[in-house]
Structure 1
């Protein structure tokens, strides 16, 4: 969701942005788990950066030529893209995001696992890594093995949001791939012959749609102008972007057992009377988003009348939910969609929010901050009963 074209940044500025994305990534907030998480970070980044470099240097000379034409350093591109993908930022050093690489299926296949292990499957992958470490501990009485066993069997008592119980982790994996499959099938059925995929062969279309389906949850790298997609697919993306990263199918019996396991943790978080009063006044996540959308529609009301196609309600909703989910999908702004064409209008490769007023941008910034902190208000709105 860039508000300026990415290629205006110099190499040194891209390096600074890379560091900021790495520090602000969701994984980095869990450093208290120590060497396990640190090793996870190092391995995923080193492998990801290495595979991107190998692809550009030895597999696709065409992709390398694109970077040369744009004056983008290959090493900087590899570091920036890998860190951005794992941190679920969705930024790419090119103005067109991944659209310029939509035919480079190998590169897309390299990035897809990074999208998953850096966000929606981070919890499951972390638990798997801890389990593997335990398997390498030969002595069952070894202190190292005992710590691993404790982490695996008492994840709910640790109070670490990213370390889920075993059953929940397995169901999370199934849910993530289920959502990807649903999106893949719907996009294939509705967009296979659309303009966005018209210049791709069968294999390239399959990989491109898989890449798009994977990114719709929390990364937002795109290989097609999403404004060309049908309204039904855009609504599907809105729903996917709204869902928290660890949304999973949990049968009622297992859910009750999980809640029983969480009772000790809940007791440690007993609320005071003032806290309970404040909790009763909180709205649900969806309620706050509706309020934000209404505020932006009021601020941009004049533009919605003068430029109704670009400033449609759907475009604004998608931009707000994308900001909330820290995804980065944007409908962009097109001079061709203007009802009253302006002679000085020039199409630019930046997000739709770049055309918003400063007041609306400030509201959108608040939405992004709210989205990053949404885990602290997941229980909001429970005092409100609809009957």
Structure 2
């Protein structure tokens, strides 16, 4: 009996971004856990539950460990090394960009072909432009050249490229060309040359010499005709009258000032068109509406070029930071802490690279059992690791936008870099149409400010609340200040600890629980608030009367109230925060309840170590994918290493669920594949928004 796929298809989960994301993390964790367990030396020395816990922890970047990583063999450490990179947020985004680029290429085949042809034409034009020498300055009446080598034969007028003078001038027809040489033929040159056919006298007075010119627009296949106006003051020096034009005439004077003035005005239109400023029908979050089919195609082409650029920049960013960071940290460990690495039975360079990779991907795993405690006074190590932590997660959107903005500023002028500059401009002005963690300027500044404030609070708390703490007082003041900053960077995502967490003052530990709980909120709220389909995803719209009900009660004419848009945006933020916090809370509460029940025997035996607060701390750290732990008194691994099997399984589920809470919503332009449905969705949003605005003004 043949298998009928259609019978079971309705019962299968819908394939979407969240489903694929879960399948990727769960599938890789299960497969690698079996490999990890089977490769133990001696055989099966690491229990399977610990193997599963470590692979899930590495893949989700939680960073918790139930065994000392220094006791693992080299293969197991390398496996964790690559799992940390495979679970990175940036690595996952690279996969999304690659898939979307491929779909764009299939959907916009014509645009991709035009892009390829444009690059070829641009290379040929650039090569030709290098052969043409223009005067350094051009006045209203200036000559092209007096060089006899540049003098033009009467029957072969030179074809001059005016691309460097200005954009397109008014078209007045098309000149037939010789296909072999792409210039007017002899007979045609005879007809258009500003001289007579015979030796009779002729005056060059306002005659206009047409030349062919390409607009440079890949969508414009028509050639335009540029006319050069000649002056009438050519003299031969023998009298006041005009001289007959000889077969080899001197180069005429060219009136180009008007061409420059006209070219600038029309060049701005061309630039507006190329930068998609013709799409002036734009709503909030770069949502375009009321576009024609051709405008939609051009918008899709711009998005394709932006995604193509990201498919190069993001992987380079991902690889260079880790490579350079690994070299920097590895060199430091090999030079200054080699004995410490060898005491754990490992190569110093390997220790340094593992530290750098774990820091950049915000895992917090360390193959040194003491984590970062031995580096309390290592200024270079702390600064480098802290910078890697910021670059890989917390400030990644800030760094990426800064890089793109800097690229646009330093690009040299010229036609060759015109399209790259255009793509960078589109990417910076409409980032959320192309990438999940690249935000508009205002959102990026808000994210940067939130990072500064939250990390500043953690830094001050570490210094102030632990003022009389013996575990902190033994550190010199200068190193203690830097240690406090490094620990603040690690609390929300880094996962490393510079001082044993259980030795810190209880108020600091409570603050860390709160910070780990809200660790992803700045990025995820910014991501969802800047979503192109934000209103559709929430089922509400900025101009919905229920959104601005307070402003309606406080203003006679709410349609003219300038506070309504901002209040609407604040409503979105409050709505998202309430929904996110409520959804997160019940997961943590349920997990803590189950773990407390399972670990009741350990609590009876050691109520201080297995206290409810320590269980909450470990669970929140796992859910936030942070990795810091209160630990065990007699062991160097995480507190969860002393739990029962069921508690470890529950924490694995918590880590996987926590890794997925920072994802964009299902309706996010940056993860959706291009289709006609998306264009219809934008048009529907615009229509609903317009109808609700009109209903409010009645």
RMSD value, Cα: 2.6
1:11·1:73 contact (CA, 8 Å) conserved in 2?
no
Instruction: Measure the CA separation in 2 of the matches of 1:378 and 1:242.
Output: 19
The reply to whether residue 361 of structure 1 matches residue 424 of structure 2 is: no
CA drift of 1:26 comes to 1.3
| Greater RCO (CA < 8 Å, at least 6 residues apart) | 1
Alignment of 1:111-126 (within 5 A): 111-126=385-400
**Larger fraction in helix:** 1
1:310-347, Cα deviation, whole Å (9 max, x unpaired): 1111100110000011111111112xxxxxxxxxxxx2
- Please state whether the residue corresponding to 1:21 is helix, strand or coil: helix
- Please state whether the residue corresponding to 2:522 is helix, strand or coil: coil
Match in the other structure for 2:694 = none
Quick one: which of 624, 636, 648 aligns to 1:349? 636
2:433·2:532 contact (CA, 8 Å) conserved in 1?
no
Instruction: Measure the CA separation in 1 of the matches of 2:317 and 2:538.
Output: 30
Instruction: Measure the CA separation in 2 of the matches of 1:371 and 1:66.
Output: 34
Closer, same or farther: CA 314–8 of 1 in aligned 2, 3 Å: same
Match in the other structure for 1:277 = none
Match in the other structure for 1:193 = 468
Alignment of 1:77-88 (within 5 A): 77-88=351-362
Quick one: which of 135, 147, 150 aligns to 2:426? 150
Instruction: Measure the CA separation in 2 of the matches of 1:132 and 1:22.
Output: 27
Match in the other structure for 2:367 = 93
Match in the other structure for 1:318 = 617
Quick one: which of 363, 375, 378 aligns to 2:662? 375
Quick one: which of 278, 283, 286 aligns to 2:585? 286
Alignment of 1:25-40 (within 5 A): 25-31=88-94, 32=97, 33-40=310-317
2:432·2:532 contact (CA, 8 Å) conserved in 1?
no
1:171·1:248 contact (CA, 8 Å) conserved in 2?
no
Instruction: Measure the CA separation in 1 of the matches of 2:312 and 2:636.
Output: 40
CA drift of 1:153 comes to 0.8
Instruction: Measure the CA separation in 1 of the matches of 2:334 and 2:630.
Output: 33
Alignment of 1:217-228 (within 5 A): 217-228=492-503
Closer, same or farther: CA 290–82 of 1 in aligned 2, 3 Å: same
Larger-gyration structure (1/2):
2
Q: What TM-score does the superposition give when structure 1 sets the normalisation length?
A: 0.83
Match in the other structure for 1:48 = 325
CA drift of 1:263 comes to 5.0
1:137-174, Cα deviation, whole Å (9 max, x unpaired): 3347622112111111112333x321112111111111
CA drift of 1:189 comes to 1.0
Instruction: Measure the CA separation in 2 of the matches of 1:353 and 1:221.
Output: 16
1:119·1:245 contact (CA, 8 Å) conserved in 2?
no
The reply to whether residue 331 of structure 1 matches residue 630 of structure 2 is: yes
CA drift of 1:270 comes to 7.8
1:208-240, Cα deviation, whole Å (9 max, x unpaired): 111111100011101111101111101111111
- Please state whether the residue corresponding to 2:494 is helix, strand or coil: coil
CA drift of 1:193 comes to 3.3
Instruction: Measure the CA separation in 2 of the matches of 1:30 and 1:200.
Output: 40
Gap runs ≥5 in structure 1: 272-279, 335-346, 380-387
Closer, same or farther: CA 376–115 of 1 in aligned 2, 3 Å: closer
CA drift of 1:186 comes to 1.4
CA drift of 1:125 comes to 0.9
CA drift of 1:269 comes to 9.3
Match in the other structure for 1:274 = none
Instruction: Measure the CA separation in 2 of the matches of 1:205 and 1:229.
Output: 13
1:229-275, Cα deviation, whole Å (9 max, x unpaired): 1111011111111114351799xxxx9xx95x64546548989xxxx
1:259-309, Cα deviation, whole Å (9 max, x unpaired): 5x64546548989xxxxxxxx9x9611122112111211222232233211
Matched positions, count? 347
Gap runs ≥5 in structure 2: 1-63, 98-309, 541-578, 667-698
1:1-50, Cα deviation, whole Å (9 max, x unpaired): 21001210233332222111111111111111311101111221122112
Closer, same or farther: CA 204–143 of 1 in aligned 2, 3 Å: same
Q: Which shifted more, 318-327 or 284-293?
A: 284-293
CA drift of 1:70 comes to 2.2
Match in the other structure for 1:342 = none
Match in the other structure for 1:173 = 448
- Please state whether the residue corresponding to 2:446 is helix, strand or coil: helix
Instruction: Measure the CA separation in 1 of the matches of 2:89 and 2:465.
Output: 33
CA drift of 1:71 comes to 2.2
Match in the other structure for 1:204 = 479
Match in the other structure for 1:338 = none
* Structure 1 consecutive aligned stretches of length 4 or more whose deviation exceeds 6 Å: 268-271
Instruction: Measure the CA separation in 1 of the matches of 2:538 and 2:464.
Output: 48
2:631·2:639 contact (CA, 8 Å) conserved in 1?
yes
